[in-house]
Homo-oligomer: A and B are copies of this chain.
Amino acid sequence: MPRSRDDFPLSATQRTLPIALLRAREAVMDRFRPMLRNIDVTEQQWRVLRVVQETEGIDATQLARAACVLAPSLTRILKSLESRGLIAQGRDENDRRRTLVRLTEEGNALLHEAGLVSARIYAEIETKLGAERIADLLDALERMTDDLTTQEDPRNGG
Protein backbone atom coordinates (compact mmCIF):
# COMPACT_ATOMS: atom_id res chain seq x y z
CA MET A 1 0.00 0.00 0.00
CA PRO A 2 2.04 2.93 -1.27
CA ARG A 3 1.67 6.29 0.43
CA SER A 4 0.51 9.13 -1.74
CA ARG A 5 2.44 12.37 -1.98
CA ASP A 6 0.69 14.15 0.89
CA ASP A 7 0.08 11.21 3.14
CA PHE A 8 1.88 11.59 6.42
CA PRO A 9 0.60 10.61 9.83
CA LEU A 10 -1.74 13.29 11.09
CA SER A 11 -0.07 14.63 14.18
CA ALA A 12 -0.22 17.72 16.32
CA THR A 13 2.47 19.73 14.57
CA GLN A 14 0.54 19.57 11.32
CA ARG A 15 -2.38 21.36 12.94
CA THR A 16 -0.58 24.49 14.05
CA LEU A 17 -0.53 27.98 12.61
CA PRO A 18 3.19 28.07 11.71
CA ILE A 19 3.06 24.82 9.74
CA ALA A 20 -0.34 25.43 8.17
CA LEU A 21 0.67 28.90 7.03
CA LEU A 22 3.93 27.59 5.64
CA ARG A 23 2.26 24.77 3.74
CA ALA A 24 -0.43 27.05 2.37
CA ARG A 25 2.17 29.50 1.13
CA GLU A 26 4.15 26.73 -0.53
CA ALA A 27 1.01 25.53 -2.29
CA VAL A 28 0.37 29.00 -3.67
CA MET A 29 3.96 29.72 -4.62
CA ASP A 30 4.31 26.44 -6.47
CA ARG A 31 2.00 27.95 -9.06
CA PHE A 32 4.19 30.99 -9.58
CA ARG A 33 7.64 29.36 -9.49
CA PRO A 34 7.69 28.24 -13.14
CA MET A 35 7.02 31.82 -14.24
CA LEU A 36 9.68 33.21 -11.93
CA ARG A 37 12.16 30.67 -13.13
CA ASN A 38 11.43 31.61 -16.70
CA ILE A 39 12.54 35.18 -16.11
CA ASP A 40 15.37 34.11 -13.78
CA VAL A 41 14.05 36.09 -10.84
CA THR A 42 13.75 34.72 -7.32
CA GLU A 43 10.64 34.93 -5.22
CA GLN A 44 12.12 37.73 -3.10
CA GLN A 45 13.48 39.64 -6.07
CA TRP A 46 10.02 39.49 -7.60
CA ARG A 47 8.41 40.93 -4.49
CA VAL A 48 10.95 43.74 -4.45
CA LEU A 49 10.40 44.52 -8.13
CA ARG A 50 6.64 44.54 -7.69
CA VAL A 51 6.79 46.99 -4.81
CA VAL A 52 9.19 49.27 -6.67
CA GLN A 53 6.83 49.21 -9.62
CA GLU A 54 3.95 50.26 -7.39
CA THR A 55 5.91 52.98 -5.67
CA GLU A 56 8.62 54.41 -7.88
CA GLY A 57 11.27 56.20 -5.88
CA ILE A 58 10.51 54.28 -2.70
CA ASP A 59 13.27 54.26 -0.10
CA ALA A 60 14.95 51.08 1.06
CA THR A 61 13.37 50.92 4.49
CA GLN A 62 9.79 51.11 3.25
CA LEU A 63 10.69 48.81 0.38
CA ALA A 64 12.02 46.18 2.76
CA ARG A 65 8.90 46.37 4.89
CA ALA A 66 6.47 46.19 1.99
CA ALA A 67 8.33 43.36 0.27
CA CYS A 68 8.81 41.43 3.51
CA VAL A 69 12.58 41.14 3.23
CA LEU A 70 15.18 42.06 5.80
CA ALA A 71 17.53 44.96 5.28
CA PRO A 72 20.64 42.81 4.72
CA SER A 73 18.78 40.75 2.13
CA LEU A 74 17.54 43.87 0.42
CA THR A 75 21.06 45.24 0.14
CA ARG A 76 22.14 42.14 -1.78
CA ILE A 77 18.96 41.97 -3.85
CA LEU A 78 19.23 45.59 -4.96
CA LYS A 79 22.87 45.09 -5.86
CA SER A 80 21.96 42.07 -7.95
CA LEU A 81 18.99 43.72 -9.67
CA GLU A 82 21.05 46.83 -10.37
CA SER A 83 23.84 44.80 -11.95
CA ARG A 84 21.22 43.23 -14.19
CA GLY A 85 20.00 46.65 -15.22
CA LEU A 86 16.49 46.17 -13.88
CA ILE A 87 16.57 48.92 -11.25
CA ALA A 88 18.56 52.05 -10.45
CA GLN A 89 19.51 53.32 -7.03
CA GLY A 90 20.05 56.91 -5.98
CA ARG A 91 20.50 58.94 -2.82
CA ASP A 92 17.73 61.01 -1.30
CA GLU A 93 19.05 64.58 -1.61
CA ASN A 94 17.10 65.67 1.44
CA ASP A 95 18.45 62.83 3.58
CA ARG A 96 21.54 61.30 2.15
CA ARG A 97 21.28 58.26 4.38
CA ARG A 98 18.37 57.02 2.35
CA THR A 99 18.56 54.95 -0.81
CA LEU A 100 15.84 55.58 -3.39
CA VAL A 101 14.96 52.88 -5.87
CA ARG A 102 13.28 53.07 -9.26
CA LEU A 103 12.77 50.75 -12.20
CA THR A 104 14.81 51.11 -15.36
CA GLU A 105 13.10 50.87 -18.73
CA GLU A 106 14.33 47.33 -18.96
CA GLY A 107 12.91 46.54 -15.55
CA ASN A 108 9.64 48.13 -16.52
CA ALA A 109 9.45 46.00 -19.65
CA LEU A 110 10.16 42.83 -17.68
CA LEU A 111 7.52 43.63 -15.10
CA HIS A 112 5.00 44.47 -17.76
CA GLU A 113 5.37 41.14 -19.53
CA ALA A 114 5.79 38.95 -16.46
CA GLY A 115 3.00 40.85 -14.76
CA LEU A 116 0.57 39.61 -17.39
CA VAL A 117 1.58 36.01 -16.74
CA SER A 118 1.41 36.54 -13.00
CA ALA A 119 -2.06 38.00 -13.26
CA ARG A 120 -3.18 35.03 -15.31
CA ILE A 121 -1.87 32.60 -12.71
CA TYR A 122 -3.58 34.50 -9.94
CA ALA A 123 -6.79 34.42 -11.94
CA GLU A 124 -6.48 30.65 -12.27
CA ILE A 125 -6.13 30.34 -8.52
CA GLU A 126 -9.15 32.58 -8.07
CA THR A 127 -11.16 30.40 -10.43
CA LYS A 128 -10.13 27.26 -8.60
CA LEU A 129 -10.78 28.56 -5.10
CA GLY A 130 -13.43 31.21 -5.61
CA ALA A 131 -12.88 34.95 -5.33
CA GLU A 132 -15.02 35.34 -2.25
CA ARG A 133 -13.26 32.55 -0.44
CA ILE A 134 -9.90 34.17 -1.14
CA ALA A 135 -11.18 37.54 0.00
CA ASP A 136 -12.45 36.02 3.24
CA LEU A 137 -9.13 34.29 3.83
CA LEU A 138 -7.22 37.50 3.16
CA ASP A 139 -9.43 39.32 5.63
CA ALA A 140 -8.89 36.67 8.28
CA LEU A 141 -5.13 36.70 7.72
CA GLU A 142 -4.89 40.47 7.90
CA ARG A 143 -6.97 40.60 11.05
CA MET A 144 -4.84 37.94 12.67
CA THR A 145 -1.64 39.69 11.68
CA ASP A 146 -2.90 42.96 13.11
CA ASP A 147 -4.11 41.35 16.31
CA LEU A 148 -0.80 39.62 16.86
CA THR A 149 1.32 42.61 15.90
CA THR A 150 -0.49 45.15 18.02
CA GLN A 151 1.34 45.04 21.31
CA GLU A 152 -1.07 45.39 24.21
CA ASP A 153 -0.83 48.60 26.16
CA PRO A 154 1.23 47.83 29.29
CA ARG A 155 -1.06 50.14 31.29
CA ASN A 156 -3.91 47.70 30.78
CA GLY A 157 -2.31 45.37 33.29
CA GLY A 158 -3.04 41.73 32.58
Enumerate chain A interface residues (CB-CB to B < 8 A): 5-6, 8-9, 11-32, 43, 47, 50-51, 54-55, 62, 65-68, 122, 125, 128-129, 133-134, 136-138, 140-142, 144-149
Contact = CB atoms under 8 A, between A and B. Distances in A.
A128 to B, nearest CB: 6
Given A14-B66, A17-B25, 6 more contacts: A11-B66, A13-B50, A18-B43, A24-B142, A30-B149, A128-B148
Given A20-B141, A66-B8, A147 B128 contact: yes
A157 B26 CA distance: 26
B8 A149 contact: no
Q: Is the interface of A mostly helix, strand, loop or mixed?
A: helix
B68 A23 contact: yes
Contacts of A24: 17, 21, 141-142, 144-145
Contact of A8 (B6, B28, B65): B65
A137 B54 contact: no
A143 to B, nearest CB: 9
Contact of A66 (B13, B138, B144): B13
Nearest to A118: B16
